[in-house]
């Protein structure tokens, strides 16, 4: 019997990762140095987007996205109730209105037909955008949502925190990587330790839109620009005296819009770059673990649903739906297996209830919540530990 705790997710830090972080710590830059752009370029290449902007965490990434898309008071934005609260909260940061829409009980993703119905029920212009979430690592079919977005004049922010390396296959049989910017205006990722790539804290925004990219870069650093062609103040003002020179002095910069300090540090970026080198390896392992769970529970009577084996799934989480989920959760914990629940439906969080959301609003999401449990899933999970988890679950239901 394994004596140490088996968590549901866990980072994997190697000697190479540590060496890269130490190199960054010993360099001239702890922040605002070259490792940021390197990480951004590597990440953009990995997902297949034109641009990437590294930020301090996934929540900051979402906030910058709603800001650059111009969300303002009363703007209605659609998202799923089965997600981490940040996917919805970013709309509230801009005083927008979150409109939840139910999930598909098979995929656990936001349900296309429910969103369509919602849009059809109101005049065009009622809703400003949609934030689909590649929940658990399963890619949303964004091609379908893009058709709706065009028709109803919506933007799309893909919350791909769970899905670096995930993909769906579009109608032309082309694989579309999560975050590649083909169908979404912006996509965001998180580098929290339980995610595929760990920076401690960290996030990334990807896009193919140059104008949005430029805005994001400015807003990440207080809305400051050092680009002379964008300055509004005069050269004479900048110099502090009359001058013949047309050049702005070296110290000069302008804060042109209200931004934030949402920067990632260079040593976090160094860790991210090093982790990214092993991202594909980690995905192979995650998919093998998913395949083992899927086979183990295929004919089990107590299984009401499970993540299963899905092409393109990035398996941040492997979820099973069971009877007596509370009993199973407690039994696993007694046996040092720390399974987790993803997620308590966001619309039923006390904060969102105050806007009128209530039990019964989303039957699929609410029924899913009553039975879901996320099993241990991370690349260093050993066969022995996984078998232990499977045996415990089987034993509990005997």
Ligand X SMILES: Cc1ncc(COP(=O)(O)O)c(C=O)c1O
Residues lying near ligand X in the complex (CB under 6 A): 57-59, 83-84, 86-87, 133, 159, 161-162, 190, 192, 203
C-beta of 86: minimal distance to ligand X in Å? 4
C-beta of 83: minimal distance to ligand X in Å? 5
C-beta of 272: minimal distance to ligand X in Å? 12
Select 137 or 308, whichever has its Cβ closest to ligand X: 137
Select 86 or 322, whichever has its Cβ closest to ligand X: 86
User: Taking the mean position of all CA atoms in its chain, how far away is CA 330?
Assistant: 29
State both tokens at 211. Answer: 């104008």
What residue is closest to ligand X based on CB? 58
C-beta of 63: minimal distance to ligand X in Å? 9
Select 139 or 303, whichever has its Cβ closest to ligand X: 139
C-beta of 84: minimal distance to ligand X in Å? 4
Select 216 or 393, whichever has its Cβ closest to ligand X: 216
Select 86 or 372, whichever has its Cβ closest to ligand X: 86
C-beta of 43: minimal distance to ligand X in Å? 14
CA distance 43 to 58: 15
Select 36 or 86, whichever has its Cβ closest to ligand X: 86
Select 87 or 208, whichever has its Cβ closest to ligand X: 87
User: Taking the mean position of all CA atoms in its chain, how far away is CA 313?
Assistant: 14
C-beta of 334: minimal distance to ligand X in Å? 26
C-beta of 21: minimal distance to ligand X in Å? 19
Select 199 or 290, whichever has its Cβ closest to ligand X: 199
DSSP-derived pairing of the beta strands 76-79 and 97-100: parallel
């Amino acid at each position: 019997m394994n004596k140490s705790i088996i968590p549901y997710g866990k980072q994997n830090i190697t000697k190479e990762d540590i060496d890269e972080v130490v190199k960054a710590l010993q360099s001239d830059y702890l922040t605002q140095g070259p490792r940021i752009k390197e990480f951004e370029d590597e990440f953009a290449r990995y997902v297949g987007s034109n641009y990437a902007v590294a930020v301090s965490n996934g929540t900051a990434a979402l906030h910058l996205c709603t800001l650059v898309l111009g969300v303002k008071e009363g703007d209605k934005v659609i998202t799923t109730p089965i997600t981490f609260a940040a996917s919805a909260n970013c709309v509230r940061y801009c005083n927008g209105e979150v409109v939840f829409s139910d999930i598909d009980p098979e995929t656990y993703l936001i349900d296309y037909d429910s969103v369509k119905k919602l849009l059809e029920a109101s005049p065009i212009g009622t809703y400003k955008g949609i934030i689909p979430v590649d929940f658990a690592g399963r890619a949303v079919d964004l091609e379908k949502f893009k058709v709706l977005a065009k028709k109803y004049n919506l933007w799309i922010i893909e919350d791909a925190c769970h899905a670096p390396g995930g993909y769906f296959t579009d109608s032309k049989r082309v694989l579309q990587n999560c975050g590649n910017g083909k169908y979404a205006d912006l996509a965001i990722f998180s580098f929290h330790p339980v995610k595929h790539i760990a920076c401690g804290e960290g996030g990334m925004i990807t896009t193919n839109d140059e104008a949005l990219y430029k805005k994001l870069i400015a807003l990440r650093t207080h809305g400051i620009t050092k680009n002379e062609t964008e300055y509004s103040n005069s050269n004479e003002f900048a110099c502090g005296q009359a001058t013949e020179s047309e050049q702005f002095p070296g110290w000069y910069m302008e804060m042109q819009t209200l931004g934030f300090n949402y920067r990632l540090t260079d040593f976090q970026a160094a860790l991210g770059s090093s982790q990214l080198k092993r991202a594909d390896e980690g995905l192979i392992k995650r998919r093998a673990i998913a395949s083992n769970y899927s086979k183990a529970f295929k004919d089990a009577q107590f299984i009401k649903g499970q993540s299963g084996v899905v092409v393109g799934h990035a398996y941040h989480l492997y979820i099973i739906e069971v009877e007596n989920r509370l009993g199973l959760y407690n039994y696993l914990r007694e046996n040092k297996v720390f399974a987790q629940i993803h997620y308590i439906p966001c619309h039923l969080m006390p904060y969102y209830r105050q806007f009128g959301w209530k039990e019964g609003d989303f039957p699929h999401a609410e029924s899913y919540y009553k039975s879901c449990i996320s099993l241990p899933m991370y690349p260093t999970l050993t066969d022995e530990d996984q078998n232990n988890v499977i045996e415990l679950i089987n034993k509990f239901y005997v």
